[in-house]
């Protein structure tokens, strides 16, 4: 039960029905529950990419689509939810320690693009706080960066997205953090911290309080929304200039 509450394991239909019976749900509510279970099964699209999905990442992907709000801080790369295909491919080629086939690269990119389906939903609301150096750090060609900055600029203007840039001279967290909050706090909040060997999930209240404070401070230290958009526009213009010089 505790693993279900923390979102560590997906609920099996049998478990859900047993709990519904225990709590005395009406026939009407059971019908609604069946619809929700069907939707949940359809939402596990990422299982098609199980061969290229690290086990530590499956939990994050599963929970992203159920979250009410996602707050991200990133100081190295554009977050996966905001990446273009070519930027994602360039990153994979740069960062994979072991040889990866072209077919595997294509599937990893497809998985990453599939995660962006949540932008077509009302929820979650997303705040992405990026260190300014993310806009300047080259991943792939200048044209890849130009395209990525233009995509990020479009995303920054979406109503449900709040993209904020922290000046490289400002204080910012030393590591990337993804913080998920859920409707009615069920399951409880979740903090995701990726590292070179995998990822850590924080669920204990003391740790969550610390990460929430770190992210709050990062937002406070970031440029305002309009200033952040201008910073992205400037980066896009600079990469466009470089791309034209490389042609």
Distance CA 190, CA 204 (A): 9
53-246, CATH topology level: Endonuclease; Chain A (3.30.870)
Domain ranges of the chain: 1-43, 53-246
Distance CA 81, CA 16 (A): 30
Tell how strand 125-131 and strand 69-74 pair up. Answer: parallel
The 8-class DSSP code of residue 75 comes to S
The 8-class DSSP code of residue 12 comes to P
Distance CA 163, CA 233 (A): 13
Phi, psi of 196 (to 5 degrees): -65, -25
Which residues, at least 6 apart from 129, have a Cβ–Cβ distance to it below 8 Å? 71, 72, 73, 74, 164, 165, 166, 215, 218, 219, 222
Contact 62, 10 (CB under 8 A): yes
Report pLDDT for 99.
79
Report pLDDT for 186.
77
| Residue segments in the chain with a per-residue pLDDT below the cut of 50 | 35, 38-39, 41-42
Report pLDDT for 98.
77
Report pLDDT for 179.
98
What's this model's pTM, rounded to 2 decimal places?
0.81
């Amino acid at each position: 039960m505790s693993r279900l509450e923390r979102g560590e394991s997906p609920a099996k239909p049998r478990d859900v029905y047993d709990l519904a019976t225990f709590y005395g749900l009406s026939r009407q509510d059971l019908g609604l529950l069946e619809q929700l279970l069907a939707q949940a099964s359809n939402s596990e699209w990422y299982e098609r990419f199980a061969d290229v999905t690290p086990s530590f990442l499956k939990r994050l992907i599963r929970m992203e689509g159920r979250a009410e709000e996602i707050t991200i801080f990133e100081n190295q790369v554009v977050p996966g939810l905001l990446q273009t295909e070519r930027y994602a491919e360039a990153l994979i080629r740069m960062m994979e320690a072991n040889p990866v086939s072209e077919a595997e690269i294509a599937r990893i990119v497809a998985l990453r693009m599939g995660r962006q389906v949540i932008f077509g939903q009302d929820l979650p609301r997303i705040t992405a706080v990026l260190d300014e150096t993310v806009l300047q750090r080259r991943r792939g060609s200048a044209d890849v960066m130009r395209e990525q900055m233009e995509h990020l600029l479009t995303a920054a203007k979406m109503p449900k997205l709040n993209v904020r840039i922290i000046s490289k001279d400002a204080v910012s967290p030393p590591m990337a953090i993804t913080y998920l909050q859920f409707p009615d706090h069920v399951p409880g909040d979740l903090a995701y911290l990726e590292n070179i060997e995998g990822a850590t999930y924080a669920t204990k209240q003391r740790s969550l309080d610390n990460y929430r404070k770190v992210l709050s401070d990062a937002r406070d230290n970031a440029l305002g929304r309009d200033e952040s958009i201008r910073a992205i526009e400037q980066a896009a213009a600079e990469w466009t200039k470089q791309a034209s010089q490389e042609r």
